[in-house]
Amino acid sequence: MAHTETPTDLGALVRCEAVAPSFRQRTYAAGRNAYGDLNLIAVTTQGRARLLLDDTGHDIGTDCILVLPHGMPGKIVVEAGARVWMIGFARSLQPMVTGAGTEGLKLDRILSHLTLTPADPEATRGTVLPLLPMLEAEIVDPARRSHVAVAALLRLILIATARMLRTEDAVGHQPETAILHRFRQLVELGYRDRRGLADYCHDLNLSYDRLHDICQRLLGRTPLTLVHQRVLLDATTRLAQTDDTVSRIADQLGFDEPTQFSHFFKRATGMSPRRFRQDARQSGTRKTDTAGLSFADWP
C-alpha cells in the first residue's frame, strides 16, 4: 500500500496573503485551490466582504474577523475597494497553534465553528494587523520558516479573535464544557502515563460514546486527538527548549520505545523529532515563551 507523507514545507501548511483594494470583486473558495486542505481566516481592514455558505450570506464589515473551520465549504467575496488579509493553515498544525488549558479550549472551539466577530477597530488594527506582515514574512522568507514561530503568531491572532467575541457569542453548552474541562484536567494528570480512553471515561463516569459526542460537537475532535494534542505540546516544548535526547523525551512521555515516539511525532507534525528540533534551533526559537501553555488556570 502506498504511503503518503504529510507535507512539511510551510508553503504547503500555511498561507497568508494581503488582498489589496481593486476595482473589481474577487472570490476566494475554502477547500479549493490554494486553500484546498486549509481552514480560512479573513481579516477585513477596509471595505466589506461577504461569506456565501450554502444558501445563506453573511456580511463581513470593516475591522471584523471571520473563521471558517477545516472542511466547511464556503466562498468569501471581497468587494471592490476592500482590503482583506486571507490566512489558512493545515489541521496538522492546530495542536501547536491552540496549545492547551482553558485558553486552548476556547481557541479549539473558534476553529471548530463558523466564527464572525463584531467590528472592533482597536483590536483589529492595534493587535491583529501588526502580526500579519510578520506571519507573511515567516512563511515567505526561506531564512525563517519556523513552525514554532508561525504557530505562535497564529495563536496570538486567534486569542485576539476570542477577545473580540461578545460574551453572548461565547456561552452555551455550559454543562458539557465543564465535562471537557474535567476531561482535560484528567489528561494533564495522566498523559505521561499513556492512560487509555477507558480510564478517562471511568473517572468521568461517562460512556465513551458520550465523551466522543461532546468532544466532536464542541471541538470537532475526538477524545484521542485531544490526548495526542497534549502529548504533542509537551514533546514540541521539550524538543525546542531542552537538550534531552529523543530517547529521553520518549521515556518522559511514557513511550515504550523511541521509535514509537518518533512515529507518533511524524504522523502528527509531518517531520521527525530531530528535524523539528533542528528547525526550531535554526530559527532561534529555543527560548520560546511557554507561559501561554500553562495548565495552572484550569478550574
pLDDT 10s digits, 71-104: 888 889 999 999 999 999 988 888 889 887 677 8
The full set of domain ranges for the chain reads 14-170, 174-285
pLDDT band at 32 (very low <50, low <70, confident <90, very high): low
How long a stretch of residues is the chain? 299
Return the CATH number of the domain spanning residue range 14-170.
2.60.120.280
pLDDT tens-digit readout, 37-53? 788 999 999 999 999 88
CATH superfamily of 174-285: Homeodomain-like (1.10.10.60)
Going by C-alpha positions, the residue among 116, 88, 81 that lies closest to residue 10 is 88
Lowest mean pLDDT among 59-73, 117-131, 157-171: 157-171
Q: Identify the residue whose cell numbers are 509531518.
A: 270
Write the burial class of residue 57 (CB in 10 Å: 0-12 exposed, 13-18 middle, 19+ buried): exposed
Whether the Cβ atoms of residue 84 and residue 45 lie closer than 8 Å to each other: yes
21-50 exposure pattern, b = at least 16 Cβ within 10 A, e = fewer:
eeeeeeebebbeeebebbbbbbbbbebbbb
